[in-house]
Structures are given as structure tokens and as C-alpha cells.
Amino acid sequence: MSGRFGRGLRPALAGLAVLLVAACSDRGDAGSRGGATAVRPDVPEVERYGGTVVVAGRNDIASMNPFTSLDVESLQHQDYLLFVTLMKADTQEEPLPYLARSWRFDADSTAVTIELYRGLTWHDGEPVTAGDVVFTFETARNPAAGYPNRAYFDAWAGVELIDEYTLRFTVRPAANLFYGWTRLAILPEHILGDVPPEELATHPFGLDPVGNGPFRFVERVPGDRWVFEANPDFPAELGGRPYVDRYVYRVMADDATQASALRAGEVDLLTTASPANVSRFEADTTIRLIHYDDRDYDFIVWNPRRPMFADPAVRRALTMAIDRPGIVEAVQEGEGTVAVGPIGPWHWAFDTTDVALPYAPDSARAVLAAVGWTDSDGDGTLDRNRQPFRFTMYATPRDKWRRVATIVQSNLRDVGIDMAIEIREIAALQPLVTSPDRRFDAFMLTWIPDQTLDDRAMWACDQLAHPVHFSGYCNPKLDAVLDSLLLVTDPDTYAGLVDRYNDILAADQPYTFLYYPSHLAAARVELRGVEMDARGNWVSVADWWLEPSAR
Amino acid sequence: MSVGLLRYAGRRILQAIPLLLGILTLTFLLLHLAPGDPTATYLTDNVSPEVVEQTRERLGLDQPLPVQYARWVTSFATGDFGRSYVGGESEVAELIGAALPNTLLLGLVSLVIIFVVGCWIGVIQAVRQYGISDTTLTIGSLALYSMPGFWLGLMLQIAVSSSWWPDALALPVSGMIDVRSHASMSLLGQGVDVARHLVLPTIGLGLASAAGIARYMRGEMLEVIHQDYIRTARAKGLSERRVIFRHALRNALIPIASLLGLYLPILIGGSVVIEKVFSWPGMGMLLYDSVYARDYPVVMAVTFLFGAIVVAGNLISDLLYAAVDPRIRYE
């Protein structure tokens, strides 16, 4: 047999090599990797314009319709890129002028007159007027529109159109009165004004929007990307044209893919960097990590309808039995702080002298023994009235929760509690934890409170039937605090109420507040001007700029 | 194509109708057996139960299951896949229209790689049986065959994005195009851009399967090249190249060709993980996201289409078998 076909392997491999080299010959504009990059510390503003910034996130932007949006990606792209809000918020969530240039209250504070900026236009050329604000307001408050955050405007009773750029709202005193206006994008009355409110959810505007903000909508590819371009006509008084020419939001569901794409220069920013990738990013001189605090906290709900969790002393013991500092180190790679209550350091009124319950398994055992939980039969599991301390903990499938659940299971095993873990995705968990009969023993989750601290649905005695009233906790003293938080405007009184809110829940432990996670984003060093805080990842997007070498 | 073959194909298509209806029904039942519904994302204290109920009514989720099922079947029969429950409630047909070509591109290119690379390696192995080439390729193909495709894809992604990877061999690690510059490229440039983005996903999706085809091809070739007619061909003085490619390979390809149709559904199904790993905007990503979001219309439509592709793949396989082997006749 001839050896000719064995030799056929070599030309084939050579041909393949040639093809690979030809295909790989141009990296495009991804930039260099591994070596030092040209990052000049002081670039004049006039030289900052240009380039395309690419951002990757796990979830697609669902819609540009604020009346149907609940996801963070949609809401922040509406508020910071495509549209303007009536007001902006500073880092303390105090209102700042934006579309509303000024406002003044009547003498009795039951009405506020708002003057709008004159000269802003929609991206189709129509002027932005008070009519758009009235339309947005009335639609937000209309139950038929189904706006999920209608409660933001509970204190706003009505509106009167004074002229094309002046409105007068009837209001009642409330804390964080303007919060809703810093979160709701103003929508075009000339496009949506004739659409029945119940049809807004399916109107094509959500996927083919016309904005009025610093960026214009260009295109959307479902499940893949949204593309925006800088609005050259955005008024300087409102911030002016963004530095970047184009902004692309890419959907990348996988953390490892995001990390690889960032390192390869295919994306410039990951809005959420997984703690598991921290060491890789820290070792890469082309990437920098952005640390910021957000409002969320991770927690365990103990169902007090189960006899074993009914006693606050038992719940405090469970909290002391769990090594929360260890969880922060092991799961969050140290990025987080042990939680005191639902209000974390992100809030200006957070009391930094508050001390979390310690990790003290011996004390936990003592407390449990004092209320009757002992290992009477010597099987290693505590029991009371012949009932073992045994329950099931639900957790969602994310790697973080699996690891937290495993640590908690081990910690509780050390004090004689038998905990089983059941993993359920959120859609399967929701019916169990929100149903009226609350079909769960315990579960762990992340919660993101509003700046308004309107948490009555979660804690108030008259909200026990609300789907998110997981704990069934009822304390009239807490109710009084929660009611006052919505009304009090004096900062010192407000701060006292916030502290009291945390203290009451820390004492009764309806939840074990695990920790406040620090948040990580990761960006290529050539992307400058990125700032993130509790207002959102995209709060500074109009100020982002790219080094010339990266354009 | 003979009349018998056409009749056979027609009969198979008619048989597919109840099969696809069964797939639709099973998918519907499984979706509704799974706990939760699309309003699971409404897990915030700002969303009142009234808004949740309003949403369920609008989406028709408050209707009895038989009513929902009847609505599905009727709309599918008329080609209306309905609207997505999420994502701005786009038309499902629009979502599929955007995703399906991307999955087909990935699948078909992978199919070509699988069969071209696999057959070539198999031929070499058979011709050089027990030689160094055969041994090396056997070890290599077994190793590749043992690797999960998505793992191979992830490892390639990490390697290519690492600082030590040579710039000259740089390849895109995600997506389908260079989002920064694709729009400004020429048509040829855009084609090259897509081709570059195809390299890693097709390796992840195809290489392990190519190893399997190589083993299969090796066995078929070995069976053929020891036949009497091959010895006769050599005795007649034909060149070895002509003997192998004109006479042996053609017969060895008969069973391999029938695998073409069977691999298409395998690739479409395997695309779910590969597309997620590489952020390739295809049907796999669409299905993955829709299952988690309980986006029933999209899940139903995609599952239905996958089922149709499987049915089509089996039919293509049978027809190809008849086409390449004159001994096969369908009555």
C-alpha cells in the first residue's frame, strides 16, 4: 500500500494552519492584551470624544417602556441613556434639577410648581413639554397601565398644566417626595398619548423607542445587543453630548465568557463581575476593578409558622450559629460586610456604631438549650418534645447560594440542627414563598430595598397577606416606625427612625440578615469616567470616555 | 427521484403531523407542571398583587388549562406563535426569525467540519492502519470524543483570551460579530468577521463529533478496502489515489451519508450550551432564557421547531441513504 495518504496528513495540516493564520490575522479594534496600555492621566476634555463603548451584562434589556419594566437593565438604560427624568438624584438621593429646572412649594406645602427646561427635543424633533410630563404622570397613576411602581406617586394627588413648560402638582407631605421623579423616565405624549393604557404593554414603542436623552436608540437584536448613539443635540445645560460616539449593550449570560471577552478586549465593561474572577482580573494590568456599595442584602427567612422558628430567641440563636464573617470571606471573597438589619451602609442614616450579632456557636447552643432544645436521645440532633430540629432550606441554583447553603448547613450541624438543602430556581420557589400558606421552612434570597424605605409590604401587620410578607412578622412598634418613615422630613428624626428600624429587626431576627455584598464591576483601563453607586451602574454613562488608543 | 421515494417522503411528512402535535402537547403539559409562571419576576414589594393579577389576565394565564391549550394549538395551526411574555412582548416569530438563521449557520458549518474533518481523518487512519498516524489519530480522536463540547469551548475561550496567547492567532471569544466595526465593513469584510467568530464555537460544537465520525469512517473504510473488487482495481493498475477515492470511499460513505440527517438535530440540540458559552445569538440562547423566564410562547415555539428539525433530519437521513445506495428502494 502506498504511503501517499499518510503524507496527505501533512499538507492538510499545513493548509489548516494557513487558514487559521489568515483568519486570525487581524484582531480588529480589540486593543492590546497583557502589556502596558497607553493611559494618560490627564486628557483634555476636547480629546475625550469618540469611540464605541461595549458593556456586557447577564440579562437582556426587556423593554424601553418604563410602565412594564422591572429589571435593572431596562430601568437604568431608560433613566440614564435614552430618556430624561424630571429630576436627577445625588449620591444622598436628594433631588437635583434635570428636566425640571426649578420647583417651589406653596406656603402650606400642599402644592409644588415646577418649571421645565426649555429647548429639549425628542429624537424625532418634537419639543419636550409639560404635556409629556402630565401624560407620564397620569399614566403612571392609572391602574389600567399596570405601572409596577405606582406607589412612588401616592403623595402626588393631581396636576395642573399652567403653560407649555410649567406644571403645578397637588401633593401631601412625605419623605422622599421626589424619589419617583428621579426614577421614572418621561415619555412622549405625541407618540403614546392616544394609546389606551391597557395596550401600552404591547405597544411597539418599548422595542423601537423615541427618546429625549443623551443617547439615541439605533437598533436592537433580540437576545444579543442594544445599540445607542450619542445625541449631538443634547443640551449642554443638561449635561451635553456624551463623550462616546456609540454605546453597545451586549447580552452575555455566562460569567466565564464575560471574563474572557473583557480580557480579550471585546467588551469594555462588565457591570457585574463575579467574585470568582477577582483574582484573574487583579492579575491583569489591562483591567481594573470598580468597587461600590448597593442597597441589597442577602438574608435567610425563617418561617415562624413552623413551631421551631416561632421563638425570636431561637432565631437569634440561629443567627449566632451561622458564621457570617466566614461566609463573606469564603463566598464573597471578602467583598461585603456582615449585616445588622435591612438598612446598610449605603444609606446616609445608617448607624455605623450598630454591632451585628457575633458568630458564637457556644452561645447559640446555650440559648437553644434554655428554650428546651437539647439532644435528649444522643443522636446528635437537638430535639424538643420528641420532635427533632430538622428542616429544609430552599436556595436558588446560583453558585453563590449553593455555597452559602452548604456553609450554613455545616454551621447548624455543629450546634445540632439538621438542615437539608433543596435547590429551586426562582420561578419554582416563588409559588412556595408567596402563597398564602407559605409552603417553606426557610429560604435564602437577595433583597434590594428602595431608597424610600417603604417596606410595609414586607413587615406591616396589615400586609400579612402580601406576597412578599415572607416572615409573617407583626410588630406594632415596627409598623409605627415604617409609617413615620414615609412622612418625616426632618433629617435627625429620620435618622433616628432608620436606626430604630434596624434595631427592632435585629432584636427579633425574623430574618437572619447575612451580609451586605460589596459590588464589583470590571472595566478595561482605557475606559475612564466610570462611577457606580447605589443609584445604579449606569449613573455616569454620559461621562464615560475612551482613551484614544482604544477607539 | 422515483415515485416510490416521493410517496415514501409524503407518507413520512403526514406521519410527522401527529408526532409534532404530541411534542406540542407534551411541552405544554411539562411547562405547566413546572411550578411558577412568568410573574415570578414580580417578586418585589412595590408590585401589588393587583398588578400581578392584571398581568396574568393580560397574558391569559388565568384561563383554565384546556382553554389555554386549545388556544395554543389553534394559533400554531394558523402559523401564529403569539407574543413573548417578556422582552417587551415581541412577536415570537420575530424572535425566532432573528435567532434561527444564526443557529442554522452554526449548525451547518459545524456539520461540514464534522464530516469533512472526520471523514478525512478516518480515511487516513484506515489507509495507515496500525501505523503511527493511525495510533496518534486514534488517541487524539478518543480524547476529543471524551471531552464535553462546551468544556472544550470554555477552555479555548480562556486560552485565546489569555495574555500568553499569540496576537497572530487571536480569535474572537464571544458573539457573532465585532459590534464596534461590523456595520462599517464591506460585505466581504462582514463575511470574514462572521467567519472569525464562528471558529471557536464550531470547534466546540463539532470537534468531538468529528472524532466520532472519524472512528466510524475508519471502520467502514477498513471493511471496504479489503473487498475483492478493491483488490481487482489495484490488480488492474489503477493508482492508489483512484482506488481509495473513486472506489473505496464512495462505498464507505453510504452509511456515513445517512448520518448527516441524524447529526442535524444533535447539533441543534447541542447548540443550547455552546450558544450560551459563546453568547451566540441563536435558538439555543433563546430557549435557555425562555425556560428560566417561563416564557411559554417562546418555549413552545422553539420546542416545536426543534421537533420539526428532528423529524426533517430523520427523513433526510432516510432519503440520502436511498439516494447513495441504489440497492435501497422505498415502496
> pLDDT higher for A159 or B260?
A159
Q: Nearest-CA residue of chain A relative to B33?
A: A428
pLDDT at residue B47, as a whole number: 66
- Mark out the alpha helices in A231-360 (DSSP H runs): 255-263, 278-282, 312-321, 324-331
The reported pLDDT for the residue numbered A371 is: 96
Give A419-466 pLDDT, tens digit per residue: 999 999 888 888 899 888 899 999 999 998 877 888 998 999 999 988
- Is the ipTM, as predicted for this complex, more than 0.90? no
Give the closest-approach CA distance of B281 to chain A in angstroms: 6
Residue B40 has what pLDDT? 65
Q: Does any domain span residue B75?
A: no
Q: Which residues pair with A512 in a beta bridge?
A: A300
Interface check for B285 against chain A (CB to CB < 8 A): the answer is: yes
Say yes or no for a CB contact (<8 Å) between B174 and A261: yes
Averaged pLDDT, groups of 10, chain B, 331 residues long: 77 85 88 75 65 78 87 83 78 90 91 89 87 86 85 89 88 94 94 95 86 88 85 84 81 78 76 90 89 86 87 80 68 54
Question: Nearest residue of A to residue B102 by CA position?
Answer: A224
Do the domain assignments include residue B185? no
Would you give the DSSP letter of residue A307?
Answer: G
CA A225-B197-B314 angle, 5° bins = 95
HEC secondary structure over chain B: CCHHHHHHHHHHHHHHHHHHHHHHHHHHHHHHHCCCCHHHHCCCCCCCHHHHHHHHHHCCCCCCHHHHHHHHHHHHHCCCCCECCCHHHCEHHHHHHHHHHHHHHHHHHHHHHHHHHHHHHHHHHHHCCCCHHHHHHHHHHHHHHHCCHHHHHHHHHHHHHCCCCCHHHCCCCCCCCCCCCHHHCCHHHHHHHHHHHHHHHHHHHHHHHHHHHHHHHHHHHHHHHCCHHHHHHHHCCCCHHHHHHHHHHHHHHHHHHHHHHHHHHHHHHHHHHHHHHHCCCCHHHHHHHHHHHCCHHHHHHHHHHHHHHHHHHHHHHHHHHHHHCCCCCCC
Contact between chains at B161 and A2 (C-beta distance less than 8 A): no
**Shortest Cα distance, chain B CAs vs residue A380, angstroms:** 35
pLDDT in the model for residue B208? 80
Domain assignment present for B19: yes
Q: What is the pLDDT of residue A450?
A: 79
Is residue B209 in some structural domain?
Answer: yes
Total domains in the fold of chain B: 1
The residue among A7, A249, A263, A482 with the most chain B CBs within 10 A of its CB, best to mutate, is A263
| CATH number for position B211 | 1.10.3720
Per-residue pLDDT, B330: 59
Q: Is the dihedral of CA B90, B62, B291, B96 positive or negative?
A: negative
Per-residue model confidence (pLDDT) at position A31: 34
Q: Which domain holds residue B221?
A: 3-35+81-152+203-324
- Judge whether residue A114 has pLDDT over 70: yes
Average pLDDT over residues A91-104: 93
> Which residues in chain A have their CB less than 8 angstroms from residue B92's CB?
none
Distance between start and end Cα atoms, chain B: 13
A-proximal residues of B, 122-141, CB under 8 Å: 123-124, 127-128, 131, 133
- Model confidence over A257-314: pLDDT tens digits? 999 999 999 999 999 998 888 888 999 999 999 999 888 999 999 999 999 999 999 9
pLDDT, tens digit, 9 for 90 and up, residues A178-189: 999 999 999 999
The answer to whether residue B294 neighbours chain A at the CB level (below 8 Å) is yes
Contact call for B45 and A25, based on CB within 8 A: no
| Rounded CA separation A332/A297 (Å) | 12
How many Cα atoms are found within 13 Å in the side-chain-facing hemisphere of B171? 24
- The verdict on residue B108 lying in a domain is yes
Which pLDDT value is given to residue B331? Answer: 54
Residue B30 burial by Cβ neighbours in a 10 Å radius (0-12, 13-18, 19+) = exposed
In this prediction, residue B88 carries a pLDDT of 64
Kindly tell me if the per-residue pLDDT of A472 is higher than 80: yes
Give me the pLDDT at residue A388, please: 96
Q: Does A93 touch chain B (CB under 8 A)?
A: no
- Each residue of A438-449: pLDDT tens digit? 999 999 999 988
Give tens-digit pLDDT for B273-299.
Answer: 899 899 999 998 899 888 878 888 899
Nearest Cα residue in chain A from B86: A62
User: A36 pLDDT exceeds 90?
Assistant: no
Q: Is B31 an 8 Å CB contact of chain A?
A: no
Closest chain B residue to the Cα of A31, Cα to Cα? B167
Q: Does residue A81 have a pLDDT over 60? A: yes
pTM for the model: 0.85
Average pLDDT over residues A486-490: 86
Distance CA A64, CA A77 (A): 8
B contact residues 241-280, partner A, Cβ 8 Å cutoff: 241, 244, 276-279
Question: How does residue A25 score in pLDDT terms, banded at 50, 70 and 90?
Answer: very low
Is the model's pLDDT at A193 over the cut of 60? yes
In a domain, B231, yes or no: yes
Find residues 404-443 of chain A whose CB sits inside 8 Å of chain B: 424-432, 434
What is the 3-class SS of A442-509, one letter each residue?
A: EEEEEECCCCCCCCHHHHCHHHCCCCCCCCCCCCHHHHHHHHHHCCCCCHHHHHHHHHHHHHHHHHHC
The confidence score (pLDDT) of residue A375 equals 95
The reply to whether B271 falls in a domain is yes
Say if residue A409's pLDDT is above 50. Answer: yes
Question: What percent of chain A is predicted at pLDDT more than 90?
Answer: 71
Answer whether residue B130 is part of any domain. yes
pLDDT confidence of A550, banded at 50, 70, 90? confident
Is residue A25 within 8 Å of residue B192, measured between CB atoms?
A: no
